[in-house]
Structure 1
Amino acid sequence: MEALEIMKQHRTYRNFDETYQLSEDQLQKILQASRQAPSWMNGQMYSIIVVKDREIREKLVEMNPGNPHVLHSSVFLVFVADLKRTQKVADHYEMDYRIGEGLDPLITAVTDTALALENAVIATEALGLGSVVVGTIRKDVAEVSELLRLPDYVLPVAGLSIGKPNVEMRVKPRLPDQTVIHYDTYKDYDYSSIEEYDDTMEKFAEARETKLWSKKFADYFSNTPNKKVDEFLKQNKFFQS
């Protein structure tokens, strides 16, 4: 498939054929494509944990029972922001490692990680397979980190379930252009554009959605953010305490 067509036709899949096994060749193609993603200064400040072990995947589902595909997919990848590698470099040159003094190193590493993740999604679809990005691994970030034996300076960002879909999905509509695309400077827009999208998504009628798009995020951001992530970042030396 052409790259542009793959991206235009992106769909998230949560139901996979449990009898389908990803070949080692397919897995390596996905990993190679992922690793060719752009990164700041070619720093490649991420790592990819390939989780094949059923027991580990069962424990991940126990933490996140709403994501059974973590177990039922062919393979589960965990993308982590990795500043341990550059800490090793700093130690080698006997230099200070001052990433805890500001947010920019963490933003850089998370950006690198997200770019690698997206390349993996595109490669998966180019192979005729499907995937779903799993952000809820941050819900129990310390427990996930312990389960995967991650060292300090490493943050789980998102997982990726990959497999052969057994339920067809439709391409989900996106927000109106004027709410997302800006030329030269940020341009404000009327709230009616968001109401228009609410109406579009209601007509799309995805079964798993029980609220208006706008109300879902109003509710979500009215709650206190996940403080486990803040504490994890402090304990693992991303921030100074």
Structure 2
Amino acid sequence: MSVSRFASALENSPTPADLVRQRYGSDQQAATAEWNAALDAILWHRSVRTYLPKPVPENLLHLIVAAAQSAPTSSSLQAWSVVAVEHPERRAKLAELAAPNPQIISAPLFLVWIADLSRLRKITAEHGKTGEGLDYLESFLLATIDATLAAQNALVALESLGLGTCYIGGIRNHPAEVGELLGLPPEAFAVFGMTVGYPDPAIETEVKPRLPQSLVLHREQYQATPREAGLATYDDTMKSFQTGQGMAVRGWTSVVASRIADVPALKGRHVLLDVVRRMGFKVK
């Protein structure tokens, strides 16, 4: 592994058990004896929002795309694309459309991950087919999943090399305008963005704890049993994390409730289905 912030940080302390503990904010059952470098990179993940003014090398971008293309893809349709945006003015416009996300401006590279049926539509036409199978929700969902799997592969690869990343869902606030700015063809939709760059070492970002496994891991069938105790514990864990990061101390459940409280909380995305159809998707 190349010398990097990621590598040096790992050399300086965290054991596998430490990494698991950081991910949950408490001890969890996990087979840390079964460990490798991939797990180091995955469990070390944290969102990075401040970057050094250092460009991402072109050959590194191509390596990351290779990692993205190594992700699984449904029926090998490979129904995704990615737009690499480096031009400051274009990044500034995207930041405005996805506001508030100023890290789009500070990051030297912004990757926009596209659910892309346009390539498949063209192929079917060239083979004298109607491509009617692309007109249904299944195909839009398939393309979205393909783009997501590819993006996550890229994220893990980037972070293993010492770069920082942050997903930007706000790119869906104004999808039609984003599509126009990026020159997307019909049936191509920006699922989310990803800021990429070398983290500013002056800004320390801790691992954000996740829900305890007791709330997400089910055996054989979904267990819809009362789990208030687990949520209360997680609220306390998140309050401790927020305090340590100098954030507003709100826990987790109140933040979630606010995020999905009403239509305005969706930040314009309540009309997403209509916009997607105007962008050429049939979505039956």
Choose from 34, 41, 44 the match for 1:6.
41
Could you say what secondary structure the match of 2:130 adopts? coil
Q: Cα RMSD between the aligned structures?
A: 1.7
CA-to-aligned-CA distance 1:169-204 (integer Å, 9 cap, x gap): 111111010111112211124222112111110011
1:194 equivalent in alignment to 2:231: yes
| Structure 1, gaps ≥5 residues long | none
TM-score w.r.t. length of structure 1 = 0.93
Residue number in structure 2 paired with 1:180? 216
User: What one-letter code is carried by the residue in structure 1 that aligns with 2:44?
Assistant: Q
Q: Distance in 2 between matches of 1:130 and 1:24?
A: 16
Answer yes or no: is the 8 Å Cα contact 2:235–2:252 preserved in 1.
yes
1:15 partner SS:
coil
Q: Say whether 1:221 aligns with 2:264.
A: no
Q: Which amino acid aligns with 1:238?
A: F
* Alignment correspondent of 2:159: 125
Greater shift, 190-199 or 231-240, is seen at: 231-240
- What is the correspondence of 1:141-160 to structure 2 with a 5 Å cutoff? 141-160=175-194
Partner of 1:131, secondary structure, is: strand
CA distance in 1, matches of 2:162, 2:138: 37
Partner of 2:275: 232
Residue 77 (structure 1) aligns with = 111
Which one-letter code corresponds to 1:144 in the other structure? V
Q: Secondary structure at the match of 2:124?
A: helix
Determine which structure has greater relative contact order: mean sequence separation of CA pairs < 8 Å that are 6+ residues apart, divided by chain length.
1
The aligned amino acid for 1:192 is: A
Partners in 2 of 1:44 and 1:127 — Cα distance? 25
Whether contact under 8 Å (2:64, 2:154) holds in the other structure is yes
- State the structure with more CA Rg: 2
Structure 2, unmatched stretches of 5+, are 2-36
TM-score, normalised relative to structure 2: 0.80
State the SS of the aligned residue for 1:79: strand
Does residue 1:203 correspond to 2:237, yes or no?
A: no
Q: CA deviation at 1:100?
A: 6.2
